[in-house]
Structure 1
Amino acid sequence: MAEAVDNAAFHAKPIGQLGSSLNVEDAYRIQTRSIARRIARGERRIGVKMGFTSKAKMIQMGVSDLIWGRLTDGMRVDDGGTIHMARYVHPRCEPEIAFLIGKEIAGPITMLEAQDAVAAIAPAIEIIDSRYEGFKFTWTDVVADNASSSGFVVGAWQDKVVDIANLGMVMRFDGAPVQIGSSAAILGQPFRALVDAARLVALEGERLMPGDIVLAGAATPAEALRPGLHVSLDVQNLGSVEFQVAR
């Protein structure tokens, strides 16, 4: 199953669902092994992304906890860079807040410990891409598929003194707003996502290390990408980030 998921992402070819009997423990094992295949090809793990940070999304998917996936350097897109649709199956993008980790953390931590562990904060856009046929999947399918994470763009890092509890966020396609939201939609406070990230990675025997990037979760619903788009995100008091979809 890990080979199938990895091949689907590598070749941008959809696969069928993995099966309704798949439990969450096995789904994370599949994710771990599929990412190990990327690392064996020369990629490097550089952080994690959080998913289902919206209560409405949890209810929709019938789950009671967040999910997470790994970020590798092969997934990173330069701010202002260009992506190509041929690399994806069902690409969409979401506005996010990114944390740069400054201190090693893992296991249960407090909100204050999470804030203390952050070296800098930035606006970010995640490119998600479910690799399942017909865009149909269960939540364990999503976990196995690296929580649908496929790419990410991070803007300029800012000092963490910025209060990120309720920042206005506007994502635009070709200059026109397509999603308007607030960072408060990320668990009511994005630092809560970091608390959960430390807890969840520890369950898999991992830690968040200095230099790691953590994507806190989507602040709005995702928007489907198409060729030729210019995508930008403006975050109040934090800055902007952008990328282009090749024609």
Structure 2
Amino acid sequence: MLKQLADKLDQAAANAQSITQLSASTQLSLHEAYEVQKLSIGLRLLRGEKLVGYKLGFTSRAKMEQMGVDDLIWGRLTDTMMIADGGQISLSDYVHPRAEPEIAFRLKHPLSGKVSKETALAAIDAVACAIEVIDSRYQNFKFSLSDVIADNCSSTGYVVGPWHDADTQLDNLPMVLKVDGIEAQRGSSMDILDHPLNSLIEAARCVAEYGESLQPGQIVLAGAATAAVALAPGQTISVEVDGLASCQFSTMAQPL
């Protein structure tokens, strides 16, 4: 059954088509939902994609309370999900695309299980501002907790800005998401689990619970600092983070 659900989600993502929520017909435990996610991403890896990192979700206390959960969720990043800084995407490849401002870590040492702040800091190779493109494959962008986990936590694409030294200060950095140069959302790095480093520590714990670990060279997206912004054709989306520069991408214009 889990493989069939993974196939269904894989095809929905590949064809940019929405599907009925899995929870409408199947009650999955969180463990089963993560297994569906693993199987679905595994199909992509078999087609030649490479696992390059992980993303965290529900990194704001308000979002946890809204969803009635007391822990983070996480998804996987592959190489084909990367959007070049300044690159362009076609919205025809997505179902309900939205963008969120993030901070990204690149690792130089492995991390797994319960790690200290000092161990996490020592494992960081570089930090950068980032944008995550999320895109639920479910109808009307509505889903249960198990639905979103199975759907790779809605992760679909990401842009990473210029990398900065690992010891770059991340305390209370203003983060601004802009659409066509106009501010759409404003937040702070402290909105990401009180500090982005906490997300890295939690990522090591979360993936270890399912037999995985963060590896050197991998990227970890720490989580959104603001609400997501829905995308439309012909836009330029950028994020500016004090001390971490900026990054951006654009959406193709609607064909005439």
Answer yes or no: is the 8 Å Cα contact 1:186–1:218 preserved in 2: yes
SS state of the match for residue 77, structure 1?
Answer: coil
- The amino acid across from 1:230 in the alignment is T
Render the CA deviation track for 1:49-76: whole Å, top value 9, x for unaligned: 0000000000111111000000000100
Cα drift, residue 177 of structure 1: 0.2
| Partners of 1:165 and 1:188 within 8 A in 2 | no
Alignment-mate amino acid for residue 90 of structure 2: H
2 CA distance for matches of 1:82 and 1:212? 23
Q: Does 1:102 align with 2:108?
A: yes
Give the whole-Å Cα distance in 2 for the aligned partners of 1:165 and 1:32.
Answer: 33
1:123-148 Cα shifts (integer Å, max 9, x gaps) = 00000000001111101100000010
Percent identity, please.
Answer: 51
Using the TM superposition, give the Cα deviation of residue 121 of structure 1 relative to its aligned residue in structure 2, in angstroms: 0.1
- Which residue in the other structure is 1:10 paired with? 14
1:163 Cα deviation from its structure 2 partner: 1.0
Could you tell me which of 80, 83, 96 is aligned with 2:89? 83
> 8 Å contact 1:119–1:160 — kept in the other structure?
yes
> Would you identify which runs of 4 or more consecutive aligned residues in structure 1 move more than 3 Å?
none
CA distance in 2, matches of 1:106, 1:165: 24
Partner amino acid for 2:81?
M
- The match for 1:53 among 47, 52, 59 is 59
Which one of the candidate residues 198, 223, 230 is aligned to 1:224? Answer: 230
User: Partners of 2:67 and 2:17 in 1: how far apart?
Assistant: 24
For residues 70-95 of structure 1, the C-alpha deviation after alignment (integer angstroms, 9 at most, x for no partner) is: 00001000000001001100000000
Aligned with 1:37: secondary structure? helix
Distance 2:110 2:193 in 1: 23
Structure 1 Cα separation of the partners of residues 101 and 111 of structure 2? 25
Alignment of 1:31-46 (within 5 A): 31-46=37-52
Kindly indicate whether residue 203 of structure 2 is the aligned counterpart of residue 197 of structure 1: yes
CA contact (8 A) 1:83 1:244 kept: yes
Deviates further, 17-26 or 172-181: 17-26
Deviation at 1:46, TM superposition (A): 0.1
1:166 aligns with 2:172: yes
Contact 1:84 1:246 in 2 (8 A): yes
| Rounded Cα–Cα distance in structure 1 between residues aligned with 2:239 and 2:174 | 10
Query: 2-side partners of 1:58 and 1:7: how far apart?
Result: 29
User: What is the aligned partner in structure 2 of residue 28 from structure 1?
Assistant: 34
- Are the counterparts in 2 of residues 172 and 233 from structure 1 also a CA contact under 8 Å? yes
CA distance in 1 between partners of 2:172 and 2:244 (Å): 11
The 8 Å contact of residues 98 and 215 in structure 1, kept in 2 or not, is answered as yes
Offset of residue 161 of structure 1? 1.8
Q: For structure 2, which runs of at least 5 residues remain unmatched after alignment?
A: none
**Residues 1:72 and 2:78 aligned together:** yes
The aligned residue for residue 181 of structure 1 is 187
Q: CA deviation at 1:207?
A: 1.1
Looking at structure 2, the residues matched to 39 and 55 of structure 1 have their Cα atoms a distance apart, in angstroms, of: 33
Q: Aligned AA for 1:119?
A: D
User: Once superposed, what is the RMSD of the aligned Cα atoms?
Assistant: 0.7
Give SS of 1:104's match.
Answer: coil
State the 1:203 CA deviation: 1.1
| 1:86-132 residue CA offsets vs partner (Å, 9 max, x unmatched) | 11000000000000011011011011111111000000000000000
| Aligned residue among 124, 137, 140 for 2:143 | 137
Aligned twin of 1:111: 117
Residue-pair matches, total: 247
- Residue 19 of structure 1: how far off its partner (Å): 1.4
Distance 2:207 2:125 in 1: 19
Which one-letter code corresponds to 1:42 in the other structure? G
**Gapped regions of structure 1 (runs ≥ 5):** none
